[in-house]
Structure 1
């Protein structure tokens, strides 16, 4: 007899939340510590403050300051590219889902930084006086260029993320439900965690609005497009991620450590 079992994609909600709690703090630390912090040290300086969403690198000259400011997004780009390349070769559902999260979040955040700084002159890439790489000549031209490039790259990341979802889940009503729940869970968990962690910071609402909200709720807003994308016309795939208590526990521990240690800021004297 022929096997008439219909493929049904399924992702356990607890495991998905655990992955978000595990990966999102690590990805943020990669931006701040491996990006800004490591380049600060490599430039011959010493960070004075390590926060959950910022690194202070005092004493840098004009060009050193610019390189330190750009380094965080540079790490985001490298991580996103490595994730999408690895995703092509990984077959097991759990690591494939994790790599999708890494690519989607880091790709959106990297492109979003250019859009955000181009629109507001705030953040790492602000080209006018007071911005991360400013002051540059013709700042309005730089801002328009950064916003345009950031927007184009952001759209490309969103489209690629949707195609990756289709490749994992396929089509059908169940696949659409899983895709929507996965995208919105990552968005909401990441945003809520960013806001809660940043509230421990002594800068209070300032760091919350400029860094946490901008990079989480704003930077990953493209997940709405992923959640409500056009339907996939392919058949559903047998993509199953079951309950993984180890990931849930590890995610909670990493998120708590991130909040407790870096939330209030580590001061280096």
Structure 2
């Protein structure tokens, strides 16, 4: 078997389609599956659902903290599920999609810890405007968040690289496939998220803090993954075939996400 036939075949159109599909689905899992669901479960009222935020009212400060933490915890739960399913026998495309899901969710969860520690904002932030600001925690807590967030993110990058190696192999023959799976997916999901975030009525702050931070920032580990080709090793035969239907589905879901939740939806008590 020659080297050419052993190289992984990853079609850009399909990667872009998956990026456009997973961005809104995984975002809604965090916002609706995490924040909104916990708000309702604890007896609160979901006043507003936007593309990248949920406004929960009517709860005690302690329950507000639970709602804030529910988003990242939803990311962790889905990451663990996708990771465990990815270790079962499956075809190449299925393993790739599960890899995207668990890596994306794990990066976002770890990134929230790091972002909140650095900025004081966000679901786990203790600064003014942070969801945990009412707990009276000191500067030491932000240092702990920075340390945990940075260390866990670095470990996740290594784990993600090793997991992708098991799917597509190693060596120069995997370079193009690796960059498409990592860089093209990252750009597709990240740019789409920022464009949707621009529709938010709360303005540029939400776009930068939520859409850009959680996508282009939270998923930035994919940049390193795309360059981790290695000079030696053997590629594996795996294919993600061209699918215009996948691209159409991704465009449709991202557009619906933008039109429905981009401007935010408000709910009366």
TM interval, short-chain normalised: over 0.9
Whether 2:23 is the aligned partner of 1:27: answer: no
2:148 equivalent in structure 1: 149
Contact 2:22 2:189 in 1 (8 A): no
| d(CA) in 2 for partners of 1:41, 1:90 | 38
Matches within 5 A, 1:70-81: 70-81=69-80
Q: 1:80 to 1:204 in 2, by over 3 A?
A: same
Matches within 5 A, 1:85-234: 85-229=84-228, 231=230, 233-234=232-233
1:268 equivalent in structure 2: 267
| d(CA) in 1 for partners of 2:232, 2:23 | 31
| d(CA) in 1 for partners of 2:162, 2:175 | 13
| d(CA) in 2 for partners of 1:107, 1:268 | 31
Number of corresponding residues: 267
| d(CA) in 1 for partners of 2:2, 2:51 | 51
Q: Which runs of 5+ in 1 are unaligned?
A: none
| d(CA) in 1 for partners of 2:2, 2:220 | 39
Q: 1:120 to 1:14 in 2, by over 3 A?
A: same
**Higher mean C-alpha deviation, range 5-14 or range 99-108:** 5-14
- TM-score (norm: length of structure 1): 0.95
- Give the match's secondary structure for 1:238: coil
How far apart are 1:146 and its partner, in Å? Answer: 1.1
| d(CA) in 2 for partners of 1:54, 1:214 | 13
1:182-210 deviations in whole A, cap 9, x for unaligned? 21112111111111101111112111111
How far apart are 1:7 and its partner, in Å? Answer: 1.2
2:17 equivalent in structure 1: 18
Contact 1:183 1:224 in 2 (8 A): yes
| d(CA) in 1 for partners of 2:96, 2:85 | 11
Q: Which runs of 5+ in 2 are unaligned?
A: none
How far apart are 1:232 and its partner, in Å? Answer: 6.2
Q: 1:245 to 1:90 in 2, by over 3 A?
A: farther
Contact 2:112 2:123 in 1 (8 A): yes
Contact 2:172 2:231 in 1 (8 A): no
Whether 2:239 is the aligned partner of 1:240: answer: yes
Q: 1:248 to 1:82 in 2, by over 3 A?
A: same
How far apart are 1:129 and its partner, in Å? Answer: 4.2
- Give the match's secondary structure for 2:133: coil
Contact 2:108 2:214 in 1 (8 A): yes
Point out 4+ residue stretches in structure 1 off by more than 6 angstroms.
none
Q: 1:4 to 1:220 in 2, by over 3 A?
A: closer
| d(CA) in 1 for partners of 2:206, 2:40 | 23
How far apart are 1:230 and its partner, in Å? Answer: 5.2
| d(CA) in 2 for partners of 1:35, 1:104 | 18
| d(CA) in 2 for partners of 1:205, 1:62 | 27
How far apart are 1:4 and its partner, in Å? Answer: 4.9
| d(CA) in 2 for partners of 1:170, 1:232 | 12
- Give the match's secondary structure for 2:163: helix
- Give the match's secondary structure for 2:124: coil
| d(CA) in 2 for partners of 1:27, 1:90 | 24
